[in-house]
Structure 1
Amino acid sequence: MGWPYGFPALTEEDKLLRREALDLYACIAHYSALAPALVFLLYRFSRHVIHVIQEAHAGRASAATSQQGRYALVPGSPTVKAQHQQGMAGKLIRQWRKITWRLGDDVYLAGSHWGQWDEWLLGVLWTAWLLVLSVKGTGNDYFHLTKRLGAIAISQLPIQYLLANKALNPYAWAFKSSHEHINRYHRVLGRIIYGLVLVHLVLYNAYFIYAGIWLQRILDSVVFCGLVASLGLHGTTATAMRVARQLSYRLFFITHLAVAVLMPVLLFFHASSARLYIMEAVVVFILDLAVRRLTTIHAPCTLESVPGTTTLVKMTCSIPAHRAARFRAAPGSHIYLSIPPSSRTTTVPSSKSTFVPLLFNPFTVAAVNEQHGTIDLVARIRKGPMSSILSEITSSSATTSEPPTETRQTILAIQGPYGTMTAQFNDLLRWGPNRVLLISGGVGATFTLPIYHALQSQVPSAKLQLVWAMRSAGEATWAVSQPPPPNGKPILDDPRIHIFLTGDMGMAYDGNDVELSPFFSSRMDRRRRLTSSSTRNRKRPDIQKIVDDTFRQNLGDSVAVFVCGPADMTREVKRRVGTWARTGRRLWWHSETFGW
Structure 2
Amino acid sequence: MSSSSWPWHFITVSGDDKIRRRELLDLRGSYAQWSVIIVMSVLRVYQAWVTHSAATASSRPRRGPVSWWDRPLVTGWIETRRQYFVCGMWLLWLTSLSIWNSGEDYLHLTKAFAHVALSQVPLQILMSPAAYISTSKPSASSIFSYLTSIPQATVTPYHRLFGRAVIAPLLFAHATLYLLFFVQSEHPDFGILLFKRVRDFDVQCGLLAVSMTILLLLFARPRGVASKGVLGAGSMQERRRLFYYVHVFLVVVLCSAAYCHVAQAQKYMIQALGASLLNGVCSFLMVRWG
For the superposition of Structure 1 and Structure 2, which TM-score range results when normalised by the shorter chain?
A: 0.7 to 0.9
Larger strand proportion, structure 1 or 2?
1
Measured after TM superposition, the shift of residue 98 of structure 1 is 7.9
Change in CA separation of 1:165 and 1:35 when aligned onto 2, cut-off 3 Å: farther
Change in CA separation of 1:246 and 1:31 when aligned onto 2, cut-off 3 Å: farther
Measured after TM superposition, the shift of residue 106 of structure 1 is 2.2
1:227 maps to which residue? Answer: 207
Report the Cα distance in structure 2 between the residues aligned to 1:281 and 1:165, rounded to whole angstroms.
15
Q: Is the 8 A contact 1:236 1:255 kept in 2?
A: no
Q: Secondary structure at the match of 1:115?
A: coil
Report the Cα distance in structure 2 between the residues aligned to 1:241 and 1:293, rounded to whole angstroms.
21
Which one of 147, 150, 159 corresponds to residue 186 of structure 1? 159
Paired letter, 1:271 = V
Mapping of residues 382-461 of structure 1, within 5 Å: none
Report the Cα distance in structure 2 between the residues aligned to 1:118 and 1:23, rounded to whole angstroms.
31
Change in CA separation of 1:189 and 1:20 when aligned onto 2, cut-off 3 Å: same
2:133 maps to which residue? Answer: none
Measured after TM superposition, the shift of residue 259 of structure 1 is 1.5
Q: Is the 8 A contact 1:30 1:155 kept in 2?
A: yes
Gaps of 5+ in 2: 131-139, 186-191, 232-238
Q: Secondary structure at the match of 2:77?
A: strand
Report the Cα distance in structure 1 between the residues aligned to 2:96 and 2:71, rounded to whole angstroms.
29
Measured after TM superposition, the shift of residue 150 of structure 1 is 0.5
Which one of 138, 150, 154 corresponds to residue 177 of structure 1? 150
Paired letter, 1:176 = S
Give the aligned length.
259
1:248 maps to which residue? Answer: 230
Q: Secondary structure at the match of 2:41?
A: helix
Mapping of residues 65-464 of structure 1, within 5 Å: 101-108=67-74, 111-113=75-77, 115-166=79-130, 169-191=142-164, 192-211=166-185, 212-240=192-220, 246-249=228-231, 250=239, 252-292=243-283
Which one of 9, 14, 32 corresponds to residue 6 of structure 1? 9
Measured after TM superposition, the shift of residue 242 of structure 1 is 8.2
Change in CA separation of 1:213 and 1:291 when aligned onto 2, cut-off 3 Å: same
Aligned-residue identity in percent = 25
Q: Is the 8 A contact 1:161 1:285 kept in 2?
A: yes
Q: Whose radius of gyration is greater, 1 or 2?
A: 1
Measured after TM superposition, the shift of residue 146 of structure 1 is 0.3
Mapping of residues 36-75 of structure 1, within 5 Å: 36-46=39-49
2:234 maps to which residue? Answer: none
Report the Cα distance in structure 2 between the residues aligned to 1:114 and 1:46, rounded to whole angstroms.
28
Q: Is the 8 A contact 2:142 2:283 kept in 1?
A: no
Q: Is the 8 A contact 1:163 1:169 kept in 2?
A: yes
1:26 aligns with 2:6: no
Q: Is the 8 A contact 2:129 2:283 kept in 1?
A: no
2:18 maps to which residue? Answer: 15
Report the Cα distance in structure 2 between the residues aligned to 1:49 and 1:252, rounded to whole angstroms.
38
Q: Is the 8 A contact 1:37 1:175 kept in 2?
A: yes
Q: Is the 8 A contact 2:69 2:82 kept in 1?
A: yes
Measured after TM superposition, the shift of residue 189 of structure 1 is 1.1
Measured after TM superposition, the shift of residue 25 of structure 1 is 0.8
- Between 36-45 and 123-132, report the one with greater CA deviation: 36-45
Report the Cα distance in structure 1 between the residues aligned to 2:268 and 2:198, rounded to whole angstroms.
24
Measured after TM superposition, the shift of residue 101 of structure 1 is 3.3
For residues 171-223 of structure 1, give each alpha carbon's deviation from its aligned partner in whole angstroms, at most 9, with x where no partner exists.
31244333232110011210111111111111111111111111211121112
Report the Cα distance in structure 1 between the residues aligned to 2:35 and 2:141, rounded to whole angstroms.
20
Change in CA separation of 1:29 and 1:105 when aligned onto 2, cut-off 3 Å: same
Change in CA separation of 1:22 and 1:35 when aligned onto 2, cut-off 3 Å: same
Paired letter, 1:104 = D
Q: Is the 8 A contact 1:149 1:196 kept in 2?
A: yes
Q: Is the 8 A contact 2:114 2:174 kept in 1?
A: yes
For residues 213-258 of structure 1, give each alpha carbon's deviation from its aligned partner in whole angstroms, at most 9, with x where no partner exists.
1121112111211111111111111122889x84033564443111
Paired letter, 2:37 = L
Q: Is the 8 A contact 1:8 1:141 kept in 2?
A: yes
Measured after TM superposition, the shift of residue 2 of structure 1 is 1.5
Report the Cα distance in structure 2 between the residues aligned to 1:113 and 1:291, rounded to whole angstroms.
30
Please report the RMSD computed on the Cα atoms of aligned residues, expressed in angstroms: 3.1
Report the Cα distance in structure 2 between the residues aligned to 1:47 and 1:295, rounded to whole angstroms.
23
Report the Cα distance in structure 2 between the residues aligned to 1:222 and 1:178, rounded to whole angstroms.
40
State the TM-score, normalizing by the size of structure 2.
Answer: 0.78
Q: Which structure ranks higher in relative contact order (CA pairs < 8 Å, sequence separation ≥ 6)?
A: 2
Measured after TM superposition, the shift of residue 121 of structure 1 is 1.1
Gaps of 5+ in 1: 56-74, 82-92, 298-322, 324-416, 418-596
Report the Cα distance in structure 2 between the residues aligned to 1:291 and 1:119, rounded to whole angstroms.
25
Report the Cα distance in structure 2 between the residues aligned to 1:122 and 1:134, rounded to whole angstroms.
19
Report the Cα distance in structure 1 between the residues aligned to 2:245 and 2:141, rounded to whole angstroms.
21
Q: Is the 8 A contact 1:40 1:174 kept in 2?
A: no
